[in-house]
């Protein structure tokens, strides 16, 4: 599948070219994830049913998962009894992760998808999963 990007308005600011993780795999339920801890945050749109599912999708994502997966060199700093784990058993750090969206809605964080084969004006995520 070609890469899907998104655009959205967040706190009155237009965000463009946001990478989308898992497009079309959860009926258009989109969440905005912000990974901070630097001068400029990384924004991602993740299609998932819940906030926890969005974290799991990010943790297992080949391209972006490293942003929350704890490196082997740092594992000693984490208590195995109290740390967070991803779906593949990896230790994840959530200190710099913010998630935006409204639970219990069809589209928790409204946005539009753009990419090859999509209309120039973009497409609602809820329509993307039903396209032929």
Judge contact between 129 and 27, C-beta under 8 A: yes
pLDDT at 31 over 90: yes
**pLDDT, tens digit, 9 for 90 and up, residues 35-48:** 997 788 999 999 99
Residues with Cβ within 8 Å of 103's Cβ and at least 6 positions away in sequence, in order, are: 50, 51
Judge contact between 43 and 32, C-beta under 8 A: yes
pLDDT at 98 over 60: yes
Question: Can you give the residue range of the structural domain that contains 9?
Answer: 5-128
pTM: 0.90
Task: Report the alpha-carbon distance of residue 27 to residue 4 in Å, rounded.
Answer: 15
Category of 89 on φ-ψ map: left (φ > 0), alpha (ψ -120 to 50) or beta: left
Query: Would you give the DSSP letter of residue 123?
Result: B
Q: How many folded domains does the chain comprise?
A: 1
Q: What's the whole-number average pLDDT of the chain?
A: 92
């Amino acid at each position: 599948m070609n890469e899907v990007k998104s655009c959205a308005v967040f706190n009155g600011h237009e965000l463009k070219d946001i990478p989308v993780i898992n497009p079309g795999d959860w009926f258009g339920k989109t969440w905005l994830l912000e990974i901070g801890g630097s001068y400029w945050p990384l924004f991602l749109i993740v299609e998932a049913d819940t906030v926890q599912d969005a974290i799991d999708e990010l943790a297992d994502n080949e391209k972006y998962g490293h942003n929350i997966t704890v490196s082997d060199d740092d594992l000693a700093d984490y208590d195995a009894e109290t740390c967070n784990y991803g779906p593949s058993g990896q230790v994840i750090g959530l200190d710099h992760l913010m998630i935006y969206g409204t639970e219990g809605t069809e589209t928790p964080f409204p946005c539009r998808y753009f990419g090859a084969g999509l209309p120039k004006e973009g497409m609602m995520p809820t329509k993307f999963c039903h396209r032929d």
